[in-house]
Amino acid sequence: MSDFEHHTHADEPDEHSRPLHLETLDESQLTRVYEMIMDAQRLAGPMSAARHELIGKLERVEESKLVKDKLLNERCSICYTPFGALIAEEEMMLAMDTPGASERSLGVTRLQRCGHYFCRKDISKWILEGNDLCPYCRAPYLANTTGNDAAPANPASGGATPHGGQPEEDELEAAVRLFEERQQQSSLPSLSGSDGFLRVLREGAGQQQQWRRPASHGGSSMYS
């Protein structure tokens, strides 16, 4: 293959990087696109307030508590870091007054409902990314969720937040990551990138009129 042919093929976008035009999709593909967006939009729905409240109430677990319960050498089931190492890192970062260091992202915490311990940074991220169950025992930690996955937020909610404004940026970024993961698992081309998707989330209910779900003809969902 010549250098010209090599560069020509290398520069051609693959199937998953081409922009997607809705008018080119058939009904089953539109349904799959809708399901992916609804799955991501749940992160910007009414549950957002409950998630931020839960994270704000996560307790800071002291080293003495871990020693008493013989958990100092146990590991966080998300990041697999020993709790003792997380405590040591927290003490060092706070003692050095490290820029950007926050007690809310350091150390060890515990979910009140099931009592399991985690790295505070990673369990906070887990909660904000839309997970409703303890990653260790699968018990729900939000008041209005059950052992099953929580239902998607009402699209008409427009992405309510604790502050009554637009969804928090970290939640939007999490939504894009989730959307891109779903996209990678499907056979659909790229959905115009993160900028376009963030715009879809921010525009909320008005944008939903352009993303009406096609009528179902008994086909199974991509998540069934």
The model's pLDDT over 114-132, given as tens digits with 9 standing for 90+, comes to: 999 999 999 998 988 888 8
Res 191 pLDDT > 80: no
Res 209 pLDDT > 50: no
The most confident of 76-90, 133-147, 160-174, by mean pLDDT: 76-90
**Which residues have CB under 8 Å from 61's CB, separation 6+?**
83, 107, 108, 109, 110, 117
pTM for this prediction = 0.47
Question: Residue 179: its pLDDT value, please?
Answer: 59
| CB count in 10 Å sphere of residue 128 | 19
Contact 38, 155 (CB under 8 A): yes
What is the topology classification, in CATH, of domain 28-143?
Answer: Herpes Virus-1 (3.30.40)
* CA atoms lying within 13 Å on the CB side of residue 93: 15
Question: Residue 89: its pLDDT value, please?
Answer: 92
Residues 24-70 pLDDT 10s: 656 666 666 666 666 665 555 555 778 888 888 999 999 999 999 99
> Tokens at residue 92, please?
């060092």
**144: helix, strand or coil:** coil
Res 211 pLDDT > 60: no
DSSP string, 45-96: STHHHHHHHHHHTPPPPPHHHHHHTT-TT-B-TTT--BHHHHHHHHHHHHHT
Residues facing 110 on adjacent strands? 117
Res 16 pLDDT > 90: no
| Greater pLDDT, 9 or 209 | 9
Question: Residue 96: its pLDDT value, please?
Answer: 85
Q: Name which of 73-77, 82-86, 187-191 the model is least confident about.
A: 187-191
| Greater pLDDT, 103 or 217 | 103
> Tokens at residue 161, please?
């937040």
Which among 128, 130, 164, 114 has a CA at the least distance from the CA of 56? 128
How far is the C-alpha of 37 from the C-alpha of 175, rounded, in Å?
9
Res 11 pLDDT > 60: no
Break the chain into its structural domains and give their ranges.
Answer: 28-143
How far is the C-alpha of 185 from the C-alpha of 76, rounded, in Å?
28
| CB count in 10 Å sphere of residue 58 | 19
Question: Residue 121: its pLDDT value, please?
Answer: 92
**Which residues have CB under 8 Å from 221's CB, separation 6+?**
31, 35
